């Protein structure tokens, strides 16, 4: 966007309203317009439509003559009891499940991603090969890798149970994807396995940009490598990690595929997206499902704003 950024000397002069300025602004809008139109079509319009549908009683087969019912899909008082999405315990359970999944899986991914990046940052023979190999989990389509894990986690024939039993860690097979205690951890495991490469890649890119002189100075002063990591490396790669976390957080909050393949609609792992899909597709209830989708959107927006707000100071420190 060099067209809109005035160069330093001209900034000082009063400049607003000149011909050049107007031309530049017009050029900027011309360049931006296609993107804005595309965004409005593929993001803005569906979002507005979903919000509108959440205020109707439409079903998938009667979308044409859905009638407006206000906020009844969200909350309604009828016959001495409250009904609606906000009173549905299953909805709140899926909200909790989603938040738990997002926080735990993203934290684990960042920790392991940084470790992998540190290893890949060291010079050793065959480093290029290992770097390519690390990317494989990220490259496999989620449906395929989730199906693969479903077989490995199978209670009777799965290799995970077989290994653990051979090693004597457990003495009876565990039903990883079926039991209410383990299924959440099983899906977290698969998600972490899949997305470590993504975090590792971003962290590695940041690591390779680090100035060598800090490390040389630290070495001369005889600082312990662990201290160097926490005092030099981590602060310097934090901006990159913040970006990785925001990408991952957005993904994790709307997680659907990996969980749906592994545990289907089971309530112990139901997320907001799975809940919304169930209402929209399985029950054909476009009104109620759209209400769930709208809340899902608001919760994600809220989480993102909160994260950016909390991370703002650090971003500014690290960014400039």
Partner 1 sequence: MSKQSLITAIALGTAALAGGGQALAADLTISCGAVGVELELCEQGVNQWEEQTGHSVDIVSTPNSSTERLSLYQQILSANSSDIDVLQIDVVWPGLLANHLLDLGETLGEDAAAGHFPAIVENNTVDGRLVAMPWFTDAGVLYYRKDLLEEYGFEPPETWEELTAIAREIQAGEQAAGDRIWGYVFQGRAYEGLTCNALEWVASHGGGTIVDAEGNLTVNNADAASALDLAASWIGDITPEGVLNYTEEEARGLFQSGNAVFMRNWPYAWSLAQGEESEVRGRVGVVKLPHGEGGNSAATLGGWNLAVSRYSENPELAADLVAFLTGEAEQKRRAIEGSYNPTLERLYADEEVLAAVPFFGTLYDTFANAVARPSAATGESYGRVSNAFFDTTHSVLSGEMSATDALPQLEGQLRRLERRWK
- Give residues in contact with partner 1 (CB under 8 A): 60-61, 63, 78, 83, 90, 154-157, 173-175, 177-180, 263-268, 278, 281-284
Nearest residue (CB) to partner 1, 9 versus 168: 168
Q: State in angstroms the smallest separation of the CB of 284 from partner 1.
A: 6
Nearest residue (CB) to partner 1, 278 versus 290: 278
CA distance 164 to 196: 23
CA distance 69 to 209: 56
Please classify residue 318 by burial: count the beta carbons closer than 10 Å to its beta carbon, then call 0-12 exposed, 13-18 middle and 19+ buried: middle
Helix orientation angle between 89-121 and 183-208, rounded to the nearest 10 degrees: 40
Q: State in angstroms the smallest separation of the CB of 146 from partner 1.
A: 13
Cβ 283 vs Cβ 237: under 8 Å: no
Q: State in angstroms the smallest separation of the CB of 268 from partner 1.
A: 8
Nearest residue (CB) to partner 1, 175 versus 201: 175
CA distance 101 to 258: 12
Task: Single out the residue of 252, 291, 261, 276 nearest to residue 83, CA to CA.
Answer: 291
Q: State in angstroms the smallest separation of the CB of 88 from partner 1.
A: 9
Nearest residue (CB) to partner 1, 85 versus 110: 85
Q: State in angstroms the smallest separation of the CB of 178 from partner 1.
A: 4
Cβ 289 vs Cβ 280: under 8 Å: yes
3-class DSSP assignment, residue 211: coil
Nearest residue (CB) to partner 1, 61 versus 313: 61
């Amino acid at each position: 966007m060099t067209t809109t950024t005035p160069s330093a000397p001209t900034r000082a002069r009063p400049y607003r309203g000149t011909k050049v300025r107007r031309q530049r602004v017009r050029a900027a809008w011309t360049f931006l317009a296609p993107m804005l139109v595309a965004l409005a079509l593929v993001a803005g319009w569906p979002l507005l439509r979903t919000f509108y549908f959440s205020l109707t009683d439409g079903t998938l087969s009667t979308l044409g003559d859905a009638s407006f019912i206000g906020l009844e899909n969200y909350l309604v008082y009828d016959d001495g009891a409250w009904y609606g999405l906000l009173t549905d315990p299953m909805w709140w359970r899926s909200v909790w499940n989603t938040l738990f999944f997002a926080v735990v899986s993203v934290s684990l991914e960042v920790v392991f991603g940084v470790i992998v990046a540190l290893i890949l940052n060291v010079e050793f023979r065959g480093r290029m090969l290992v770097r390519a190999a690390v990317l494989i989990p990220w490259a496999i389509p989620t449906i395929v890798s989730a199906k693969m894990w479903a077989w490995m986690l199978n209670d009777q024939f799965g290799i995970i149970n077989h290994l653990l039993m051979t090693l004597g860690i457990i003495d009876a097979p565990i039903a990883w994807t079926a039991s209410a205690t383990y299924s959440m951890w099983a899906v977290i495991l698969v998600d972490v396995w899949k997305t470590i490469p993504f975090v590792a890649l971003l962290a590695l890119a940041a690591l390779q940009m680090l100035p060598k002189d800090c490390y040389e100075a630290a070495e001369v002063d005889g600082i312990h490598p662990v201290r160097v990591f926490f005092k030099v490396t981590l602060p310097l790669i934090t901006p990159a990690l913040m970006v990785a976390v925001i990408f991952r957080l957005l993904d994790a909050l709307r997680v659907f595929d990996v969980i749906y393949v592994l545990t289907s609609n089971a309530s112990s792992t139901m997320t907001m997206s799975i809940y919304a899909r169930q209402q929209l597709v399985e029950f054909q209830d476009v009104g109620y499902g759209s209400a769930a989708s709208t809340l899902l959107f608001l919760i994600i927006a809220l989480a993102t704003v909160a994260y950016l707000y909390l991370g703002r100071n650090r971003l500014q420190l690290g960014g400039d």
